[in-house]
Structure 1
Amino acid sequence: MANLIADYIVVGGGLTGCVVASRLRPDETNNPAAEFFLSGLSLQGDELDYAYTSEPVPTTADRVHRLSAGKALGGGTAINFGGWLRGDAADYDEWAEVAGDKCWSYEGLNLWFVKSENFYDSNADPQEHGFNGSMYVTSIAAAEEGQRKYPLREIVKNAWAELGVSHNVHRKNGASTGVNEMHENCSKKGMRQPSNVVYPLNHVKVFTNTPVYRIIFGDTKKATGVELVDSRKVTARKQVIVSAGSYQTPKILMPSGIGPSADLAKHGIPLVHESPYAGQSLYDHYAIHLAYRLRNPLLGYAFGSAGFSYPAFLKGLPWDWIANQPLPEKILSKNQNKTKPGWEKQNVYEVLTAYVVPGIPGIPIDGSHISTSTMLLLPTSRGKVTIRSSSPTDLPSVQPNYLSTQMDRDALVHAVRTTIKLLTATANLKPIIEGESPPVQEGLEGLTPLIVDTSDEEILERLQRIGEQHQHSGGTAAMGTVVDGEGKVLGVTGLRIVDASIIPVPLGGHLQATMYAMAEQLASMILADS
């Protein structure tokens, strides 16, 4: 490929990059495991995963964390598990407040949520769901013509009811507190829908394995194109749009001269615009996966059991319920300096039940265990992404700082204790669950099963030793500090960012549905400008 000229350059072929490129237009992976969500368990850390590594994290036992990011057209949509879960309305309203732009409130984004969806239930509220969008979305119970109802479905829901957490059937006005049924962007045939397939890239010139080094600027601080790692250049007639993700976007901005001046000077990079928050304010959803041993594995409750072989059960990740919950007053009052007005109603954590074990060391996938994911939705810890040098081939340096605030530690300890109580101490699940099985692996010696009476200190130790990020990172090029409400990079022209790095606050839901809506709205703004 020689030097090229194009109207728009979109840097990054992930979820948002494919949406934007498709909307602006005048190879999908051949790995068969990417077709189905269940077989996608094998993709984490594999050939379709960049699998970045963090710096050692002092607050998680100095562990180095694997940071997954999709290494294929479609980005994370090629390796994720298909969860289609919005945040709570309050999360989006906070985003709008921080960004200073009502377009990013729940009311402002809802139009684009609706636009992106082809929702399975034609009787659903048309103010909340769309029926003509690009992405087919279904509930677990409705998938496979209603045949994908797992054996523990009603038992798990009833166990939550014992704890006072009721089924939130319709999530009216964006309220997500309670037990919600999992939704997936799973095709009607039970297959994955990567962004580059749902948003076609015909008439878009796509170059894979062509990494970008930096943005090129003219004399007036206007982005005029990009320089590739191999020194070739591509010129943009109109705009450069960076959609490289929360780790790589700062890695492109800083060598381009946009970032904290002290960091750039250290590596001899000429300053184009002082952007002190570029690479800062990194957040992610930190989670712990726990395995629970079944009293009778022969009853077919979990993947791997002979009785769990019903074809519909294998057409997606075996899950059905997800519970979103606020924190009790005792934790909020203890951490008043980290809370904001309204936090007593916001969903700070989620608990997800799955009928498969997601790679917990030493726990067999043979139908003997089910599992849970307990995740912190609104972390107050913040990390950073920076560059190691001016070299175009060096990977970014990522310091996530998980669990670095007392608020986060208290919140997750409480959430894990709630999970233990649900699985082992409710009348519905106690007859089915024998107990929690700690992971077994070199370096994890000394772990004992978690029970209702386990101390806070022991739960925290488990969180520090085995917890991991949930691939929902953002904040490193945030609206209000690095970009404006239209994704335009402050201090320069001709440059936009369209990816999760611009979302300024954590959201109480999985990112996928939000990122499609965000990309649709920003694509409309780009088209309006042109």
Structure 2
Amino acid sequence: MTDILILGAGSAGCILAARLSADPACRVTLVEAGTRPTDPDIARPAMWPFLQGRPYDWDYTTVPQPGTAGRVHHWARGKALGGSSNLHAMFHVRGHAEDYEDWVAASGSQRWSYDALLPHFRATESWSCGGDDLHGDAGPMPILLPEAETHPLVRDFIAGWVAMGQPRLRDHCGRALIGTAPNALMIRDGRRITTAEAWLTPAVLARPNLTVLTGAEVHRLRLEGARVTGAELRVEGTEQVLAADRVILSLGAIGTPLLLMRSGIGDPAVLAAAGVPCRMERTELGRNLHDHMLGAGVVCRSKRPVAPSKLQVSESLSYQAEDPARTTGRPEIVVGCVVAPSVAEGVEAPAPGTGFTLLFGVTNPTSRGRLAITGPALSDAPMIDPAYLSTEHDRHLFRVALKRARAIAASPALADWVAEEVLPGPALRSDAELDAFIARVAITHHHPVATCAMGRDEAAITDADLAMRGLDNLWIVDASVIPSITAGPIHAAVMAIAESFASGFRG
């Protein structure tokens, strides 16, 4: 029997294990389906686009998406200590303060406001440029704000936006988000740093009250009335049961709802179709699924060689309003500069070194989908339907973002770089043509959220304290509880959620 059983050693789970095991009287067990990562490419920042599909990636796939020309999208999710922090692009962006006001409205609690989360953001961080009232300097995760390493193309990209009236920000973790800055990155001494490296230090792993179990897939939870008594695991082909007093799910926006469904919790119709008896009706489980997408993209052939990035290829984001004259408040679109000819699958790109890509997307999409189990076994692939580009809001803003990316490509600041626009190509101009192009090149930004969203009403899966409604000793701490996506990458928010939860957890 363990006091606290944490299922999932991703970005939230590693933080929880380190923080909660700091109490020597509390026995903590951390369970991870993957193993300790050994691939040296993980540490190489520029390799991140090539890690997907390797053994430490769950490599989920969506159902064909009508909004993206019927394409199936691969959703990379980490299967190793550190979870998706082994795979992601290392961006550190908090989003805008208004994003968190939406969390307050959904949950009914001020604990999820930006200002309430600010100490927890700062507690995760150690900025290379030093700390202040908005940035941490003593947290476990190093945050590199590049200076000398910034690519010359990216310097001109930033200067071009400033010349067009957009603010030049120091970084994307201040009060303002509209504007352009180099991407702050989870890198130290040229290496990616995962949450496992940052929080599960040798000293933490040596704690006698912390047990880390790897290579253990969680099949289902054991329920007795309104309590979870433990979890059924598969370890090296054998079945085991771990008993626990308190259980925290940190399996992510995909893994957490799938585990609950396999345990007999969810929409009775979904469970019946999968051959799982319903133990607890929760019809909202797996719903409200949404994700960021990026168009990949506006591809330019360069007039001169494009040297390799010294960072991780995607070096700058520019957050903007639909109206370019508005330079304050919450953004609606984003344009990014990739120091390489990055494209969607099935689209031909210029050779490396001969071009670059301007990504474009929508910061707060309104398309909502769902996921569900298709059978009772771990091997039964889930049904994942994000319903990409299913709202006119998203389609319209994607057009705006595409036009904005084309504008910076045609600006004087990039005149010495751009030989020609390869994609979408100058012939494409009408909204219908742009919509068809976007459907062909839109890709996931790997930010799924909201499948166990917190909310103030009884239908919501989790409450403001991240306790799961209907069960007395189960909490969910991962991206699945986010009720609506932040304007930027979600990793910084997930770390802050875990820090906030750990700081106040009494169970």
TM norm structure 2: 0.89
2:6 is paired with a residue whose SS is strand
Query: In structure 1, what is the equivalent of residue 286 of structure 2?
Result: 279
Label 1:166 to 1:173 Cα distance change in 2 as closer, same or farther (>3 A): closer
Deviations 1:249-298 (CA, angstroms, capped at 9, x unpaired):
11111121221122223344333322111000000001111253344224
Query: In structure 2, what is the equivalent of residue 102 of structure 1?
Result: 110
Query: In structure 2, what is the equivalent of residue 164 of structure 1?
Result: 165
Pick one of 330, 351, 354 that aligns with 2:335.
351
Pick one of 459, 467, 470 that aligns with 2:434.
459
Q: CA deviation at 1:412?
A: 0.4
Query: In structure 1, what is the equivalent of residue 40 of structure 2?
Result: 32
Query: In structure 1, what is the equivalent of residue 276 of structure 2?
Result: 269
Query: In structure 2, what is the equivalent of residue 477 of structure 1?
Result: 452
Q: CA deviation at 1:398?
A: 0.3
Query: In structure 1, what is the equivalent of residue 425 of structure 2?
Result: 449
Question: Structure 1: where are the runs of 5+ without partners?
Answer: 142-146, 304-312, 331-341, 439-447
1:504 is paired with a residue whose SS is coil
Query: In structure 1, what is the equivalent of residue 380 of structure 2?
Result: 394
Query: In structure 1, what is the equivalent of residue 247 of structure 2?
Result: 240
Do 2:179 and 2:327's aligned partners in 1 also have CA atoms closer than 8 Å? no
Label 1:479 to 1:13 Cα distance change in 2 as closer, same or farther (>3 A): same
Query: In structure 2, what is the equivalent of residue 251 of structure 1?
Result: 258
Query: In structure 2, what is the equivalent of residue 223 of structure 1?
Result: 228
Question: Structure 2: where are the runs of 5+ without partners?
Answer: 25-34
Distance in 2 of aligned mates of 1:101 and 1:364 = 50
Distance in 1 of aligned mates of 2:154 and 2:443 = 26
1:169-180 → structure 2 map (5 Å cutoff): 169=170, 174-180=175-181
Query: In structure 2, what is the equivalent of residue 366 of structure 1?
Result: 352
Deviations 1:186-207 (CA, angstroms, capped at 9, x unpaired):
11x1101111111115143223
Distance in 1 of aligned mates of 2:387 and 2:420 = 31
Residue 408 (structure 1) aligned with residue 402 (structure 2) = no
Distance in 1 of aligned mates of 2:154 and 2:193 = 25
Query: In structure 2, what is the equivalent of residue 112 of structure 1?
Result: 120
Pick one of 29, 51, 74 that aligns with 2:82.
74
Do 1:291 and 1:357's aligned partners in 2 also have CA atoms closer than 8 Å? no
Query: In structure 2, what is the equivalent of residue 144 of structure 1?
Result: none
TM norm structure 1: 0.86
Deviations 1:34-65 (CA, angstroms, capped at 9, x unpaired):
01110222202223221111111122111111
1:149 is paired with a residue whose SS is coil
Do 1:328 and 1:344's aligned partners in 2 also have CA atoms closer than 8 Å? no
Do 2:150 and 2:182's aligned partners in 1 also have CA atoms closer than 8 Å? no
Residue 432 (structure 1) aligned with residue 428 (structure 2) = no
Q: CA deviation at 1:233?
A: 4.0
Q: CA deviation at 1:109?
A: 0.7
Runs of 4+ in 1 over 6 A off after TM superposition: none
1:206 is paired with a residue whose SS is strand
Larger CA deviation: 407-416 vs 253-262 = 253-262
Distance in 2 of aligned mates of 1:293 and 1:412 = 19
Larger CA deviation: 254-263 vs 105-114 = 254-263
Deviations 1:8-49 (CA, angstroms, capped at 9, x unpaired):
221112111111122222453110100111022220222322
Name the structure with the higher strand share: 2
1:205 is paired with a residue whose SS is strand
Query: Aligned-pair RMSD on alpha carbons?
Result: 2.3
Deviations 1:343-364 (CA, angstroms, capped at 9, x unpaired):
9942122111121233554324
Larger CA deviation: 457-466 vs 167-176 = 167-176
Amino acid at match of 2:477: V
Do 1:37 and 1:191's aligned partners in 2 also have CA atoms closer than 8 Å? yes
Do 2:85 and 2:194's aligned partners in 1 also have CA atoms closer than 8 Å? yes
Amino acid at match of 2:50: S
